[in-house]
Amino acid sequence: MLEIIKEPWPWYVAGPLIGLTVPILLIIGNKSFGISSSLRHICAACIPANISFFKYDWKKESWNLFFVFGIFLGGVITAYFLSNPNEVVITPELAEKLATYGITDHTGLVPAQLFSWESLFTLRGFIMIVVGGFLVGFGTRYAGGCTSGHAIMGLSNLQWPSLVATICFMIGGFIMALLILPYILSL
């Protein structure tokens, strides 16, 4: 049983399990699924400033903080006890292409040549980690939510803004992967 848990789950198992969070949250407490709003709740709870954006009853949304903490705790448990020790399997063509950019370590979930403390102090690593993190945060705030809020919850509720946001997420991902990322990796 433990071996089944350690292996990647196919989309037709993992997808419906993720999708079931929407009706469960709606049925149990009329709650919306989303992760990015938890940062607002944390700021409202920890920073008693006179900023109108943080002046609301964040305690009503404290369930979201427990939900996000559960995701974090599940990630920690998985990383320490259930991680697969084998290299990530990628196609030989992709491995060859990544090798041209100096990315040869496929032992972790992400390449250590891109995401590590050592790479943070390189131009490529700074762009990938710091600038990329800022852009994700800015985009999340600008779009009024993250991919989980819009693509999972919003689309299932047939919300037009979520459809537009999800289409923009996808277009941005394609542009990044096909046009911008190769330039950054060549730095």
Does pLDDT of 21 surpass 80?
Answer: yes
Range 178-182 average pLDDT? 94
How confident is the model over 78-116, as pLDDT tens digits? 888 887 777 788 899 999 999 999 899 888 778 888 888
Range 139-156 average pLDDT? 85
Q: What is the pLDDT of residue 51?
A: 84
Neighbours of 61 (CB within 10 A): 18
Q: What is the rounded distance in angstroms from the CA atom of residue 134 to the CA atom of residue 52?
A: 22
Does pLDDT of 6 surpass 80?
Answer: no
Task: Catalogue the long-range contacts made by 136-140 (C-beta closer than 8 Å, 24 or more residues apart).
Answer: 139/172, 140/36
